[in-house]
Amino acid sequence: MSADVETSLRGPKAYELARKAIQAMEAHQVWPTALNFELWVHYVAAKGSALAAEIDTIIESGEPFTDEVGEHLAAQFLPKAKLNGEILEAGQTLSKELDSVSRAIESARETSEAYGQQLASASESLDGDDAAAIKTMVETLTVATRKVREENHALETQLHDTTAELGRLREHLEQVRRDAMTDALSGLANRKAFDEALERASAQAEQAGETVTLAVIDIDHFKSFNDTWGHQTGDQVIRYVASVIGRASGNPRFSARYGGEEFAIIFPGESARSALAVLEAVREEVSSRILKRRSTNEDLGAITISAGIAERKPGEAPASLIERADSALYASKRGGRNRTSCADPIAAAA
């Protein structure tokens, strides 16, 4: 939530805001889920906000406020990215700590077992010795060692169970990581994952003296399409375009939903010319299919995309590469859309 709304919910107006949100949801037949409640608290608390304007548009259009609509609005207007990043980093730190604890326990078990074996061996070597006092001491220590061994066995059992639990926890943390790095609507990587991947690809390219190319893609006239057919159909279009992009960008390429109706593909070790061929194939496949509205089977017509490509220059920062790819995308938009432009036409034609 924004700071103003958060402050209001911790003050004397909190219950009033909550009641207004519930009343508004009931009036518009919106299910009172946690996500919807958060959205509608924003709606009643900040009527001049972009989120409130979007909800007003949905209300005026008569479009039902489904779970998909709520998720779409939340992804666009609720600032969760920072929280997701903090959760992700905490999970990674915890996983490292658990690995360290597991290794320490295992090391302690092995040391204790070796100690017991040495004491038992010392008792056996003194078996025929006349040093009664020493033998008695060693036998006493052997009894103690036997007890330590029993305790070690119990510890080993516990360690086995704990290690299994740590394995399950690490798998869960990895799943959390995947979820935190994946865009729920498109199934592609999200913006945070894209930023990390571009940083990594740029660093590797700089170190190896190789190139990396970035493509940014935008669905043409998407806002008009969304306003005409509604968010659910707009989401259907985003998923369709994402599926085409995903098929064209298998490993080591990296595809992501950059934001809204924008996508990006990273091409490690590939030139602008190579990326251009891929983008043209994607563009042609996207525009070749006549889409139908899933709920009514109405023809939606063909969807087109515009793209911009930039090949990284030696020493260039990721932000600069993104800026040049964006400029190439805008050149495609100005040139009539449904086309791909390169930031450096000479490199693409080489």
pLDDT in tens, 71-91: 888 877 775 544 455 555 555
- Domain region containing 248: 191-349
Q: Which residues pair with 69 in a beta bridge?
A: none
- Catalytically active residues are 261
Q: Give the residue ranges of the chain where pLDDT is below 50.
A: 1, 3, 81-83, 350
- State residue 194's pLDDT score: 94
Same-domain check for residues 206 and 339: yes
- The tally of domains found in the chain comes to 3
- State residue 76's pLDDT score: 77
Same-domain check for residues 242 and 306: yes
Same-domain check for residues 175 and 57: no
Tell me if 267 sits within 8 A of 104, measured CB to CB: no
pTM of the model: 0.59
Strand ranges (E), the chain: 212-219, 254-259, 262-268, 290-292, 299-302, 305-311, 340-342
Same-domain check for residues 153 and 198: no
- State residue 84's pLDDT score: 52
State how far the Cα of 306 lies from the Cα of 241, in Å rounded to an integer. Answer: 12
pLDDT in tens, 240-288: 999 999 999 988 999 999 888 999 999 999 999 999 999 999 999 999 9
- State residue 162's pLDDT score: 64
Q: Tell me how long the chain is.
A: 350
Same-domain check for residues 196 and 337: yes
| Percentage of residues of the chain with pLDDT beyond 70 | 69
Q: For residue 234, give both structure tokens.
A: 């707009």
- State residue 350's pLDDT score: 46
State how far the Cα of 74 lies from the Cα of 54, in Å rounded to an integer. Answer: 11
The DSSP code for 312 is P
- State residue 252's pLDDT score: 93
What region, left, alpha or beta, does residue 209 occupy, with left being phi > 0 and alpha being psi -120 to 50 degrees? left
Same-domain check for residues 69 and 108: no
Same-domain check for residues 21 and 47: yes
Q: What is the mean pLDDT of the chain?
A: 80
Same-domain check for residues 271 and 303: yes
Question: Residue 316: exposed, middle, or buried by beta-carbon count in 10 A (0-12, 13-18, 19+)?
Answer: middle
State how far the Cα of 283 lies from the Cα of 340, in Å rounded to an integer. Answer: 8
- State residue 274's pLDDT score: 94
